[in-house]
């Protein structure tokens, strides 16, 4: 798995279109969580045919978002995949002057929002299947501060630093064998201006 400092900044239309596809985003997310996986393993997770998953993994690889990983088993026929970076980002200054990139970024944002909403709804629907400890630990809050653009940017940087610290700590603990009670956790933070 790439290290946390290997973040990918998407600036080209091809890569942005590749990740905007709903199944590809689901595959990328599943692969990021698994760290390494085969097309067969990912196909089971997303409930799609292995051939379709393989096709979409190749498209993600063409965009530089995933790459082949070292084999994890003795079966040389299995092709293992991993994310090529520790996440990715899209920055306004990289896309704003190109209408095609602006449109592709909006499409990506909608895909991401739909999938994030579906993940949260699933948790709400299955809430009682989780332990009291997990239900109490889950977070759902809304803040409505009045900020400048610079203050919002600073807030985002601070939140990202805190999240990165906790993620790195959890990954190190898991690598050291501390797996008891660990679950995949989705944390979605949005910060944007709005007018009432």
pLDDT, residue 116, reads 95
Alpha carbon distance 45, 5 (integer Å):
28
Alpha carbon distance 108, 16 (integer Å):
7
Which pLDDT band, with edges at 50, 70 and 90, does 194 fall under?
Answer: confident
User: For residue 1, is pLDDT > 80?
Assistant: no
pLDDT, residue 77, reads 78
pTM for the full model? 0.86
Q: What is the mean pLDDT of the chain?
A: 93
Alpha carbon distance 13, 17 (integer Å):
6
Render pLDDT for 20-30 as a digit per residue (tens, 0 to 9).
999 999 999 99
Contact 8, 84 (CB under 8 A): yes
The residue to which tokens 């109490």 are assigned: 136
Alpha carbon distance 43, 122 (integer Å):
20
Which pLDDT band, with edges at 50, 70 and 90, does 4 fall under?
Answer: low
């Amino acid at each position: 798995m790439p290290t946390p400092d290997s973040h990918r900044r998407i600036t080209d239309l091809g890569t942005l279109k590749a990740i905007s596809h709903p199944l590809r985003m689901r595959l990328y997310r599943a692969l990021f969580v698994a760290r390494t996986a085969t097309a067969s393993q990912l196909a089971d997770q997303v409930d799609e045919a292995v051939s379709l998953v393989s096709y979409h993994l190749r498209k993600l690889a063409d965009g530089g978002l995933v790459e082949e990983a070292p084999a994890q088993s003795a079966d040389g026929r299995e092709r293992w995949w991993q994310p090529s970076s520790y996440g990715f980002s899209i920055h306004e200054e990289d896309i704003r002057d190109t209408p095609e990139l602006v449109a592709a970024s909006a499409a990506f944002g909608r895909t991401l929002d739909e999938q994030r909403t579906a993940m949260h709804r699933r948790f709400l629907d299955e809430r009682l299947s989780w332990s009291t400890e997990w239900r109490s630990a889950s977070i759902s809050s809304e803040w409505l501060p009045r900020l400048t653009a610079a203050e919002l940017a600073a807030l985002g940087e601070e939140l990202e630093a805190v999240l990165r610290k906790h993620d790195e700590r959890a990954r190190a603990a898991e690598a050291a064998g501390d797996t008891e009670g660990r679950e995949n956790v989705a944390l979605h933070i949005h910060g944007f201006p709005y007018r009432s």
